[in-house]
C-alpha cells in the first residue's frame, strides 16, 4: 500500500534594440535567450521530499464497507527511513502498516470454516520500497476511498461501497513495466511472518492531507523530470 512538487519555469527573452542611423537602419543581432530557470536543483528537491514524508508521522483512518454493516476497518501507516539520493535518482522508504477489524456485537468472521478471533483480525506489515525516478513515467494523486471503490468495480462488485474517514490521499507513481522493487514482511494474528519480494508497475505513498499530497507530487514530478523520467513508450498502433 503503500504508497503520495513544483516546476516554475521563467523564460527570459532577449530583444534586439535597433540602432537607427540617419542614412539607413541596421538592427543589431538579437542576443541568445538566457537559459530558462529550471527551478530547485535535484538535491534540493530530493531533500524536500525526504523532509515532507519523514515529518508527517503516523497516518490513521477508518474504513467501512456497505456489505459489512457495523464493521470498522482501522488502518495506521507510518513512512520512515526515508532516503532520497540525488546521486542515483533513487528513493527508499520503509512503510509500516497496522490494520485491525472491529466487529459489531454478536457478529463474527470466518476463514476456511474457522471462526476468527479479534487477534486474527489484526495484521502488521513492514514494506521496504526502492524507487528510481529514472523509471517513473507519471505521477498522480488519488483519494484512498476512490482507489478502494475502483477496485470493487474492477472485480465486478460495484454494489460494494467503501467509505474512508477522514479522507486520506495517495501519491501514486506509474511505470509501463514492473520496475519498482518491494519487500514485505506481513504478520497476521499469531501466525509467523510471511516474507515476499515483488516488483510492481505502480507504487505510492499515503499522505494525510491534500495540500501536502500536492506538494509532494509536484516535487516528485520535478525529480522525475530532472532524472530523465516521464517518458512513456509510444503506442505503434
Q: For the residues 20-43, what does the mean pLDDT come to?
A: 53
The pLDDT value given to residue 38: 63
The pLDDT value given to residue 232: 56
For residue range 81-128, list pLDDT tens digits in order: 999 999 999 999 999 999 999 988 877 777 777 887 778 889 999 999
CB 219 within 8 A of CB 212: no
The pLDDT value given to residue 37: 52
- Please, is 211 exposed, middle or buried when counting C-beta atoms within 10 Å of its C-beta (0-12, 13-18, 19+)? exposed
DSSP for 60-92, written as a single string: EEEEEETTSTT-EEEEEEEEEEEEEETTTTEEE
DSSP for 54-68, written as a single string: HHS--EEEEEEETTS
- The secondary structure of residue 7, as a DSSP letter, is -
Confidence of residue 210 (pLDDT cuts 50, 70, 90): very high
**Mean pLDDT of all residues in the chain?**
84
Contacts of 146 (CB under 8 A, 6+ apart): none
Is a pLDDT exceeding 60 seen at residue 48?
yes
Helix, strand, coil in percent for the chain, rounding step 5: 20, 40, 40
Is a pLDDT exceeding 50 seen at residue 11?
no
The pLDDT value given to residue 111: 77
> Cβ of 40: how many Cβ atoms within 10 Å?
19
Contacts of 26 (CB under 8 A, 6+ apart): 19
Amino acid at each position: 500500500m503503500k504508497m503520495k512538487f513544483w516546476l516554475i519555469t521563467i523564460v527570459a527573452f532577449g530583444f534586439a534594440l535597433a540602432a537607427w542611423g540617419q542614412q539607413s537602419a541596421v538592427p543589431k543581432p538579437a542576443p541568445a535567450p538566457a537559459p530558462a530557470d529550471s527551478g530547485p536543483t535535484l538535491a534540493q528537491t530530493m531533500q524536500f521530499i525526504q523532509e515532507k514524508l519523514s515529518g508527517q508521522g503516523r497516518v490513521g483512518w477508518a474504513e467501512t464497507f456497505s456489505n459489512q454493516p457495523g464493521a470498522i476497518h482501522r488502518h495506521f501507516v507510518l513512512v520512515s527511513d526515508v532516503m532520497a539520493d540525488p546521486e542515483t535518482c533513487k528513493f527508499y522508504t520503509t512503510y509500516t502498516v497496522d490494520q485491525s477489524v472491529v466487529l459489531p456485537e454478536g457478529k463474527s468472521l470466518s476463514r476456511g470454516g474457522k471462526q476468527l478471533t479479534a487477534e486474527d483480525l489484526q495484521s502488521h506489515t513492514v514494506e521496504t520500497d526502492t524507487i528510481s525516478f529514472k523509471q517513473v513515467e507519471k505521477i498522480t494523486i488519488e483519494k484512498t476511498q476512490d482507489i478502494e471503490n475502483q477496485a470493487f468495480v474492477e472485480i465486478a462488485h460495484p454494489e460494494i461501497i467503501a467509505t474512508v474517514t477522514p479522507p486520506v490521499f495517495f501519491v501514486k507513481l506509474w511505470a509501463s513495466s514492473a520496475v519498482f522493487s518491494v519487500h514485505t514482511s506481513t504478520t497476521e494474528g499469531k501466525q509467523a511472518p510471511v516474507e515476499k519480494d515483488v516488483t510492481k508497475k505502480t507504487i505510492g505513498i499515503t499522505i494525510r492531507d491534500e495540500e501536502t499530497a500536492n506538494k509532494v507530487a509536484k516535487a516528485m514530478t520535478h525529480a522525475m523530470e530532472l532524472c530523465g523520467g516521464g517518458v512513456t513508450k509510444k503506442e505503434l498502433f
